[in-house]
Chains A and B, each alone.
Chain A
């Protein structure tokens, strides 16, 4: 089984989909001739041509809107927002046209929107956002967020096969830093959570780039406590069963969000636990999240706001002692 980086795994999924299914069409700014801002589609036009790896005008609403049109006449468009931050320019089409179409008209909109997200490299306020909560909150849109190379490929295949609009949150920080064994060919990862590391004294719930942060935070310095790490992988649908199972066994929970704290995915997880996992709790549900600030540019400022290994470890330590 080959070892690929997270980014290579994404490329591999796109390539395999283009080969296997004529209906698949990639659309985005600078993805064709240039090979994409992050080189995800490097070399693709040579194999698939400029029609299927389309360099679009600079028009996010246009990209999402035309993708919807193509999807309802039988294509499988995979749109790229160059940075997830720019999805706000296409918000209306995604939330009001794509998200609500099946409920109102019984008409499925099988589009995938790739959203390179997250900070940690001085991208500043407009190149570092994690906007998934906006779309968790909009009915009719699924949201997934891989943290490993294997899941990056499997979840993207599953997203493209899904007949619904899917936001695929690919984390830029993980592109080249995460490597792993990735099966070849087309395979699907289910939209469910994954126990990244089993434990019994406390569970850290995280997704995306916060999963490696959590794993490192609990790897030592907690006096031998047995800490579980649950990788959500899918935000809509949220894997209630897995979350409540971890809570029942571990009774103490730390939830980590790289997104801004208020109404982030972790807030929904916390509400779920408070309502349905109350009797299993041996302590308050603790959240570690980026405060409600635009992500700053200068490195010490950015490091101060994004949840790092130390903050997560400290939260675990305190809760274990409670």
Chain B
């Protein structure tokens, strides 16, 4: 393997996939010594206790040596291969510790044999930094900064750039939702092999199919008058989702059967509510980061955490630990105006709550004397998909009724 005397050698090391992981096994190499590889392209696949994943190349250059053969298990941090970066070439990204890769799909800790995508940083070398004001504006508008082109020094995103980006975005229909429409700029190209579906789409699809094959999935709906929620959320400056989350957690207290796992024959009820919130990543699909111990948070606390995990999800900053341990999931795709859905349960949980658009409708209201009239109220339909192996229709309806009661009595 030749490299010029001016070359810099960059190490490819075994990454740490989760806090408790100490080692990993190489399951496949995509390159041989002498091959050229671009930064960010997958160089090998590894398997750990927590997750199987692809490892992106830390630099663009020529592979000089492979040090860990397929099948070998080594400690986190071990050098597995080396890449020669030419002396007058671009400086390599730091290779000492790979940043942890985010997960796709809804697996909550269950070991799978699926491999996950690796794209985390935007195209280009190194790690983009964002100034305090840019981060603040992005968080306020739920913007994925990796989508924002920068016109500052070295391609830096300036305040003017993120403000301009905000302006060109379509305003969402249901502005409280953490979702945003597909970004105008093309997403970084995911790895595509064969057919028309991206790897991520296929992985999500496999998970969804497996859920439907495993659970006896049914869906029940209930209408909720959101007037008090709308008033309260304006006062507090938070999204309606935070209220739905809190109302659901309170309902789980009365109906603990909804906060459980069913894995084959093993049925576990959880006292902690680790709340998963589904976040759309556009072409990269869906991810469900978890708010651990969500029952300890107030409405404001939940709103802040939802905002934070949505931001991190879009910034591809989630770690494997962030997507594990969920006991109940809420999905909130309401900004396009859809009113009902039949969500698929996030295995191995036993239920998932769907919160769609809040739409003003004419409704019948009765006064204290029983006289009926028509009033205009912001209404929504909450849908609960539930597993008939662990629950039944009555329990599910009661659970929904409790959530409805909680929401319609918000002070």
Residues of A bordering B, CB below 8 Å: 201, 251, 278-283, 321-322
Taking CB atoms, residues of chain A closer than 8 Å to B132 are 278-282
CB distance from A98 to the nearest CB of B (A): 41
Q: Which residue of B lies closest to A252 (CB)?
A: B159
8 A Cβ contacts from B136-159 to A: 136, 152-153, 156, 158-159
Partner of B153 from A251, A280, A281, A322 at Cβ < 8 Å: A322
Q: Which residue of B lies closest to A280 (CB)?
A: B133
Q: Determine if B133 and A281 form an interchain contact, defined as CB atoms under 8 angstroms apart.
A: yes
Q: Determine if A322 and B156 form an interchain contact, defined as CB atoms under 8 angstroms apart.
A: yes
- C-alpha gap A321/B158 in the complex (Å): 9
Taking CB atoms, residues of chain A closer than 8 Å to B159 are 251, 282
Since A281-B131, A321-B152, A322-B158 are in contact, a sample of 15 more A-B pairs with Cβ atoms closer than 8 Å, ordered by chain A residue number, is: A251-B131, A251-B133, A278-B132, A279-B132, A279-B133, A279-B136, A280-B132, A281-B133, A282-B131, A282-B133, A282-B134, A282-B159, A283-B131, A322-B153, A322-B156
Query: Would you mind naming 14 contact pairs between A and B with Cβ atoms under 8 Å apart?
Result: A251-B133, A278-B132, A279-B132, A280-B132, A280-B133, A281-B133, A282-B134, A282-B158, A282-B159, A321-B152, A321-B153, A322-B152, A322-B153, A322-B158
State the majority secondary structure of interface residues on A. loop
Taking CB atoms, residues of chain A closer than 8 Å to B134 are 282
CB distance from B316 to the nearest CB of A (A): 23
- C-alpha gap A89/B134 in the complex (Å): 50
- C-alpha gap A251/B153 in the complex (Å): 16
- C-alpha gap A322/B131 in the complex (Å): 11
Q: Which residue of B lies closest to A248 (CB)?
A: B133
Chain B window 118-142, contacts with chain A (Cβ cutoff 8 Å), 1 for yes, 0 for no = 0000000000000111101000000
Residues of B bordering A, CB below 8 Å: 131-134, 136, 152-153, 156, 158-160
Taking CB atoms, residues of chain B closer than 8 Å to A201 are 160
Taking CB atoms, residues of chain A closer than 8 Å to B156 are 322
- C-alpha gap A281/B132 in the complex (Å): 6
CB distance from A137 to the nearest CB of B (A): 29
- C-alpha gap A283/B157 in the complex (Å): 11
- C-alpha gap A283/B160 in the complex (Å): 12
Taking CB atoms, residues of chain B closer than 8 Å to A283 are 131
- C-alpha gap A278/B134 in the complex (Å): 11
CB distance from B8 to the nearest CB of A (A): 28
CB distance from A117 to the nearest CB of B (A): 35
- C-alpha gap A283/B152 in the complex (Å): 10
- C-alpha gap A282/B163 in the complex (Å): 12
Taking CB atoms, residues of chain A closer than 8 Å to B158 are 282, 322
Taking CB atoms, residues of chain B closer than 8 Å to A279 are 132-133, 136
Q: Which of A201, A280, A282 has the most CB of B within 10 A?
A: A282
- C-alpha gap A4/B156 in the complex (Å): 48
CB distance from B172 to the nearest CB of A (A): 25
- C-alpha gap A24/B151 in the complex (Å): 59
- C-alpha gap A201/B160 in the complex (Å): 9
Q: Which residue of B lies closest to A250 (CB)?
A: B159
CB distance from B164 to the nearest CB of A (A): 13
CB distance from B140 to the nearest CB of A (A): 11
CB distance from B135 to the nearest CB of A (A): 8
Taking CB atoms, residues of chain B closer than 8 Å to A282 are 131-134, 158-159
Q: Which residue of A lies closest to B159 (CB)?
A: A282
- C-alpha gap A321/B159 in the complex (Å): 11
Taking CB atoms, residues of chain A closer than 8 Å to B133 are 251, 279-282
CB distance from B163 to the nearest CB of A (A): 10
Taking CB atoms, residues of chain B closer than 8 Å to A322 are 152-153, 156, 158
CB distance from A145 to the nearest CB of B (A): 30
- C-alpha gap A41/B159 in the complex (Å): 51
CB distance from A8 to the nearest CB of B (A): 43
Q: Which residue of B lies closest to A282 (CB)?
A: B159
Q: Which of B132, B133, B153, B158 has the most CB of A within 10 A?
A: B133
Taking CB atoms, residues of chain B closer than 8 Å to A280 are 132-133
Taking CB atoms, residues of chain A closer than 8 Å to B136 are 279
Taking CB atoms, residues of chain A closer than 8 Å to B153 are 321-322
- C-alpha gap A143/B132 in the complex (Å): 33
Q: Which residue of A lies closest to B151 (CB)?
A: A321
CB distance from A217 to the nearest CB of B (A): 21
5 closest A-B pairs by beta carbon, nearest first, are A282-B159, A279-B132, A282-B131, A282-B133, A251-B133
Taking CB atoms, residues of chain B closer than 8 Å to A281 are 131-133
Taking CB atoms, residues of chain A closer than 8 Å to B152 are 321-322
- C-alpha gap A321/B161 in the complex (Å): 12
Q: Which residue of A lies closest to B156 (CB)?
A: A322
Taking CB atoms, residues of chain B closer than 8 Å to A321 are 152-153
- C-alpha gap A279/B130 in the complex (Å): 11
- C-alpha gap A260/B131 in the complex (Å): 29
Taking CB atoms, residues of chain B closer than 8 Å to A278 are 132
- C-alpha gap A251/B134 in the complex (Å): 10
CB distance from A73 to the nearest CB of B (A): 53
CB distance from A195 to the nearest CB of B (A): 20
CB distance from A234 to the nearest CB of B (A): 27
- C-alpha gap A201/B156 in the complex (Å): 16
Q: Which residue of A lies closest to B158 (CB)?
A: A282
CB distance from A277 to the nearest CB of B (A): 9
Q: Which residue of A lies closest to B160 (CB)?
A: A201
- C-alpha gap A321/B134 in the complex (Å): 15
CB distance from A268 to the nearest CB of B (A): 21
- C-alpha gap A279/B133 in the complex (Å): 5
CB distance from A13 to the nearest CB of B (A): 41
Taking CB atoms, residues of chain B closer than 8 Å to A251 are 131, 133, 159
- C-alpha gap A201/B161 in the complex (Å): 12
CB distance from A51 to the nearest CB of B (A): 59
CB distance from A17 to the nearest CB of B (A): 46
- C-alpha gap A283/B132 in the complex (Å): 9
- C-alpha gap A251/B133 in the complex (Å): 7
- C-alpha gap A280/B160 in the complex (Å): 13
- C-alpha gap A278/B132 in the complex (Å): 7
CB distance from B177 to the nearest CB of A (A): 25
Q: Which residue of A lies closest to B131 (CB)?
A: A282
